Structure formats: structure tokens, C-alpha cells
Chains A and B, each alone.
Chain A
Amino acid sequence: MKYNILYILLFCCLYYQGKAQTAKATSGSFALNNATIVTVTKGTIENGSLLIENGKITAVGKNISIPDGATKIDCSGQSIYPGMIDSGTQLGMAEVNAVSLTVDHNEVGDIKPHMQALTAINPNNVAIPVTRVNGVTTVLSVPTGGLIPGTAALINLVGYTPDQMYAGFKGVAINFPTAGKRSRWDRRSEEDRKKEEEKNLKNLNDIWEQATLYAKIDSASQFNKTLRPEYNPQMEAMLPVMRGKMPVLVEVNQEKGILSAIKWIQKNKINAVLTGVAEGWRVAKEIAASNIPVITGPILSIPTRSSDRYDSRYTNAGILHKAGVKVAIRTDDSENVRNLPFNAGFAAAYGMGKEAALKAVTINPAEIFGVADQLGSLEVGKSANLIVTNGDPFETKTQISHLFINGWQVAIDSRHIQLYNEFLDRSPGLKK
């Protein structure tokens, strides 16, 4: 009897521990059977199976052998898609954006490549479970503010430490100088905006010169430590960029700015990705000719010019794709990164097509970030980042029934779902 009570207490403790965030993730071998498998890179398999072992996809196909002990999940009538990748967010870096002490993406200063997004990722950020239950399993978290906001990091949305979450890509973010207005309330005159653009461009070029020199001296000092340059955290952070080992994410949105960014990238022979690119549709040919990939979004946003058709942001990704640009889609959001599938859906509807839009949130970002051996499609050997749905993952009413990230089976649970369960039929209701 005593033991029974003890068990009940123990159970209660465990139960409430589980309730603190969301239910625990589990690992092991999983066989997802009788599913429509949308591999993205190798076609669609009807009524197939997918095997997950040790965090990896170990078999995909029609007649694969399921090892004893694998947890079998019947996916009849359901589809498996790769987990979606959001190529530009502040997820995990802010709890409440209006409360500055909870915001960790915008450090003081203008030149801060040494600010590491990965350092500021809070694995217990409340928006992370909210995001992943909508099928987004991987995001790029990007610092904000200044000419060089910091170093972005790609993370998987499972884990209790940033290192556990890290998905193998970092890149230095740059806000490329432009003379465009920041918003309707930007009161700077056209002249002032142009002056600031020139000043910032000169600043950027100076930094680049300095970083080039710093890298050269640093290389030379490998053989003679006395030659080492005085420690400079900004320049240290730029070393992998100068050595071509780390790409630069060049944020630029205005037509003219896009063209000058391309020139700047080519002149300095930089391994770069263009981000934002809201007016890319105006210069799609030039972007395609440069062979620089593009991360664009949010798709659900208003035109940059009052002269534009209402849908210029909806159609942008499709126009770039058709011009031959490799396109990835981002939300540029923090708490509503869960809207990534809907951003992709709008791009699909407005000219991009479903197939290309699906690639823009799976294999394209994986390739752009150099992690296509791990992420972005359902192939043997890749990380098991995938979702099981009752239909098209972009369609608004679609429900996701199973979620795997890095091979972990993650519960379909979040604060939003918990509040729904508690308050749908509130108890006590009206009675005291």
C-alpha cells in the first residue's frame, strides 16, 4: 500500500515535470509505414516505408526490411515530408520583442561579426515548440542591427543546449548600405539618406581592407608568433570569411542596392548569399547571371513601392526562381516562424509552383548552407528531420501528426496547444 502511494507520487512528479515545457522527446528505431513519401530530391513514393535508426534515415522505399524492435507507426493516408528550414529568423534570440531585456539579437555597435547567434539561442524559448509543431524543424537565427550585425547560426529545433541544436552552418550577416527609406516614418531627406549610404559603404570597404590585411598578417604569423597582430575580436571573427570558409549573408532589398551589392561581392570575390531581396523581381536576370543564391521573405508582406501591384512580394520568389536563381524562403520573424509553410504556399500560388516552393524550404536552403548531406530531403544517410501530415504541408488546414528532428520523436505539444486543452472547456466554468 505504502509503495502504491509512493508510485502515485512519483508518477505525479514525473507528470508535472513533463508538463513544465512539453513532453519529452524519445529516440530509438522507428518504422513509418504505408505513407506517401515526398522525398523532394528522389520523387514521391506511394505506400512506402521510412526507417529511422540512430538519428538517421536508414531506408526509404517500398519493400524495406523492418528490424525487430523498431517502433512501427502506421501512416496510412498520410504523407511524410522533410522538416522545413526557415532561412532567416530571430527564433530563440528573443522572448518578447517589446521587452528589451528579453531581446538578444541586437547588440550595441555597428561592426560586430564576433556576436554569435548561437550564444544567444535559448533552447527553452517558448516559441520553439510553437514553431516546430507546424513542421519547421530547422532555422537560421540571425543577429540584427548595424552594418555587420553578427554571425548567424543554423539550429535544429530540438535539444537543451545550443551545441545540441547546432546544425552545422554559420555565416556573417551584413546589412548592405542602401539609400532606401527604412519605413514610412523615416524622416531623413533623400540627400541625407544618400550621404549615409556612401558613408556606410566606405566604412564597409575599410573594414574589408582591414580584415584582408589582418588575415594576411595572421597567416604569416602562423610561422612566427611574434608577428601576431594585436587581438581584435571583430577581425578574428572575420578570419573564416576572409579565408573563404564562411559565407556572408548580404541583406539588401532595394533594386539599386541589389545591383551594387552584386558588384561589391564580385569585386571582393566573396562567398555570399543575398538575403531579403524584396525588389529582386526588378533585377532577376542580373541576380541569376551572378549565380549568387537568394534567401527571400517574408512573402507575406506589403509592396516596397506604392506604385507596385498589390502582389509584388507574393510573386517575387517565383520570378527569381524562373529567372534561374536558387531561392530559399524565410519568414524573418521570431515568434511566428510557424508561418513559413504559409509563406511558401503564397509563393507557390503566385507563380513559383508547389514543387519549387517546397524546395525553397527544404533542399535549397540545405544546399545554400552546405548541409545538404544532412538535411533538406528524405534520403538514406541524412538526419531524420521529417514530418507526417494528413496532406499538403502548405495548406492551412493540414494537421501534423508526427514530428522527428535529428531522429528524436518530438511530441506535438506547445504552450498554445496546452492552453487550448486547458481552456476549450474551462473547469470551473461560470460556477464559483
Chain B
Amino acid sequence: MKNNILFFLCLCLAFVGTAQTTGNILIKNGTVLTITNGTLTETDVLIKDGKIKSIGKDLSAGDDTETVDATGLFVMPGIIDAHSHIALDVVNEATSPSTAEVWVGDALDPLDVGIYRALAGGVTISHAMHGSANAIGGQCETIKHRYGTFDPEELRMVGAPRTIKFALGENPMRVHGEGRGILPRTRMGIEQVFRAEFSKGQRYMEAWDTYNKTKGKVTTATAPKYDRRLETMADILRGDIIIHCHSYRADEILMLMNVLKDFGVNRITYQHVNEGFKVAPELAEFGASASVFADWWAYKFEVYYSTAYNAAILTKNGVVTSINSDSGELIRHLYHEAAKTQRYGSLSDEEALSLITINPAKQLGIDKRVGSIEEGKEGDIAIFNAHPLSIYAIPQMTIIDGLVYFDIKKDANDMRVDINPEEAEPMFMMESKAHDHANDACMEGVSEQLHKH
């Protein structure tokens, strides 16, 4: 009996060990948009064991290596979405102005058809985020779109830095101030949530540091009470967690930078940040980065004074900027969203493509591993039939760690979990209409609660 259990455990271990598989593939003769090293025509990219092994002309690989003819096609790094809510069972733990202890990584849903749709848009990595109901929301998870697995573990991008969602403005004000009659009801209240939680986190960190120093040396040393919420705040203070903050207005963006300065925290990406253009010099000076919509505006009051030139203004002022989706719809055409910065602000091809590759990689702390086509980086690739910034571009193939996860020529029915249209309930998604985005996807799951109050 014992042996059986041992055998079973070994099996489990073997399974975990092979969970995140990698592949070999040779992409021949494409126009390679490296992002960090210009455009290489008629160039091959060889991926071995999931990593980019070489980039050059007339590369060859063993017979066992799958070869893709990319003649006439455009090869770019897999697209990275720094703000999404796909592959999540639940988005908001809307029960307190701070819920730093919760983690969306506990609620991953590998069967979400949204992952397939994102892959079909060339997106290989997304930042699955907690919602914006709370000033300090939950921790987020950076995932690779390894669609087809039933195991949530396989979605994780192991080794990606920890991140946490913060939120400013109307959403936390509505949920807690208006909805529950507690602080914060105003942008003044929101500042105090951060100051209180960071202060408590600082004391907690100091208490543990003192204990760890005296432990074993002083017999009376006792461990402070463990508190996962404050432990998370301490980890932010230690620089171990990157803040991704839902924000819109210039005043609140400045407020949070002031708070962070007081607590010595500097790793932050502002999300949405529709009025980032107004304080672009301050963002650049602080070293904060920005992850924006290409053109969403006016769906709620705090985005009324927006401009579609936001990404261009931020980029030209030296702020590391990305374009995100925050939507199961937009994530399918981030290449087009990035192209809008050429209509609104005339960014160069390289600047525009950086917004959905190397820049979001920097914001997630994974730019050493992905975000450009460089030898040694992970084999995440998107292949298009035309320049990806063209409106006529159609994604052809999406590769993660050297394995093909989407191929337009073999888009089999079983790419979807439901394949019988009679069994799949037709839905007329309100969220596909931009103007029904009054709540934005960040507020998923809290609108019903709001209506009750």
C-alpha cells in the first residue's frame, strides 16, 4: 500500500515536472521584426527547447524539427498584454478597500475560450489582473497562453515577478464610499487608504526584521502575529512586488507618486492612465511607466478629458508605454490598437510595435526573457500575412516556447471547448460594445453588488 502511494506521488511529480513543455521549430525566410534590433528581411528564426537559438540566413535544424515557411510573412515577438482579465474565474474581491492578501493566481481558468481568441490575435502572454473595486486590490498573475491544458499550473509564467493591482478614482469610490458607506468616498479617502496600509506594512516589516535579528539570540524574542495582507504590503516596500495601478486623472496619478516617494517605493506601472499625457514629465522623472488604451474615452466621467494621442505624448516624453486590452475583445487585435498611435501621433513602426512587445515586458519585469526576437530569449512568436500594423494583417500562427498554439490553417473545431453551436448558448455581449463599458472590465462581478445598495 505504502509503495503504491509512493508510486502515485512519483507519478504526480513527473507530471508536474513536464507541465510546462517546450518545443523546437524553424521559421524560414520571413520578414523578422525583432523590435530591439531592427527589421531583418528573408531571415530564419530557430527555436530549440523553447528558446530562440539563432537568427540568421539559411539556418538548418535536425529532421525532427518542424519547419514553417514564412516567405512573404511577417514574424514578430509574441504580443504581450499588460492588462487583461481572461483566464480568471473571478476578478474582484470587493469586500474591503484593501485586499492585498488575495491572489488571482488561485482562480485561474485554463478553459476560458478567451485564451484561444487572444492566441488568434498573436497574443502569447497576458497579465491576468485583479479588478479595480478596491484601492489595494489583489495580486495578479502573468500567464502564458498555453491553451489546451486542463491544469491551471501550466498557464503560469514561472519566475515572472509578483505584481499587485491598485486602483484610484471612481471605481473604489463607488464600491466602498457609495456602495458600502465606508471610506473611501473621495480621492482624499483613497490617499489615506494607501498611507494607512503602507504605514501598517512598514511597522509589520520592522517588527519581523527585529524578530529575525534577535531570534535564537534573545530568549524572549517572539514572532509578530502573521498577517498576509500586511506581509504583502511589506513585500511591496521591499521592492519584491510591482504595482499596477488603475488610474485615470492627473491629480490622482500625482497623489500616488507622492505617497510612493514617502515610502521609498518606485516600481509602478500606471494602468489606463487616460490623463497620463498631462503629467508625462512627472511620470518620466519618477520612472513610472504607463499602460494605456489606444482610444477609449468618455465612457465614464473621469475619462472625459482624454485624448487618443495619449500613448504618443507619453512615448515622446520618455515614459515607457504599452497598449493594453482590459477586454476579451480588444485583446484579439492589440496589433491594430498599437497601429492607432500612427494615426494619432505618427509613431514609427518600431515605437508602435514596442507598445505591445518589449514595453509591456518591461512593465511586467519579464523583458530579459520575452518581448523581442533575440537569441537566448523565449520562443514566443506571432506570424502575420502582412505588416502587423496594417489594418489588413491577419495573424497566421502563434507560438509559445517553440510550440504552435494557433495555426490559422489548422484552426480545428476543438480549439473551442464547446464545438456544438446548438449547445453553446448564443450571447449578445453587452461588453463588446464600448459604450456599455461604463463599468469597465475591471469592475467585473461588482455591478450586481452595487445595484443592491
Contact = CB atoms under 8 A, between A and B. Distances in A.
Do A and B pair up? The answer is yes
Interface of A: 90, 94-99, 126-127, 134, 180-186, 253-255, 278-279, 282, 298, 300-311, 332-336, 338-339, 342, 345-346, 348-350, 392, 394-399, 415-417, 419-420, 423-424, 426, 429-430
A416 B394 contact: no
B424 A397 contact: no
Given A302-B332, A398-B343, A349 B433 contact: no
Given A310-B116, A333-B435, 11 more contacts: A94-B435, A97-B436, A279-B426, A307-B418, A335-B299, A349-B391, A349-B394, A419-B306, A423-B307, A424-B312, A430-B282
B200 to A, nearest CB: 33
Contacts of A394: 391
A415 B416 contact: no
A279 B425 CA distance: 12
Interface string B298-337: 1111001111110011001000000000001100110010
B389 interface: yes
Among B117, B278, B423, the most chain A Cβ lie within 10 Å of the Cβ of B117
Instruction: Tell me if B's interface is mostly helix, strand, loop or mixed.
Output: loop
A430 B281 contact: yes
Contacts of A424: 309, 312-313, 316
A43 to B, nearest CB: 22
Interface of B: 113, 116-117, 120-121, 277-278, 280-282, 285, 295-301, 304-309, 312-313, 316, 328-329, 332-333, 336, 339-340, 342-346, 389-394, 411, 413, 415-421, 423-436, 438-439, 447-448
A417 B345 CA distance: 9
List the 4 shortest-distance A-B pairs measured between CB atoms, nearest first: A345-B391, A98-B438, A397-B342, A420-B309
Given A183-B428, A332-B433, A345-B391, A308 B298 contact: no
B296 A302 contact: no
Contacts of B299: 96-98, 335
A180 B393 contact: no
B116 A182 contact: no
A345 B394 CA distance: 11
B174 to A, nearest CB: 10
A305 B281 contact: no
A310 B435 contact: no
B342 A396 contact: yes
A336 B280 contact: no
A302 B309 contact: no
21 contacts: A99-B301, A126-B298, A180-B427, A181-B426, A182-B427, A183-B430, A185-B448, A302-B328, A305-B418, A307-B418, A307-B421, A307-B424, A308-B421, A333-B434, A333-B435, A345-B392, A349-B391, A397-B339, A416-B308, A420-B313, A420-B344
A342 B391 contact: yes
B433 A333 contact: yes
Contacts of A426: 278, 280-281
Contacts of A392: 391
Contacts of A416: 297, 306-309, 344
A204 to B, nearest CB: 18
Among B344, B391, B448, the most chain A Cβ lie within 10 Å of the Cβ of B391
Nearest to B114: A302
A394 B393 CA distance: 12
A311 to B, nearest CB: 7
A398 B342 CA distance: 8
A310 B300 contact: no
A96 B432 CA distance: 17
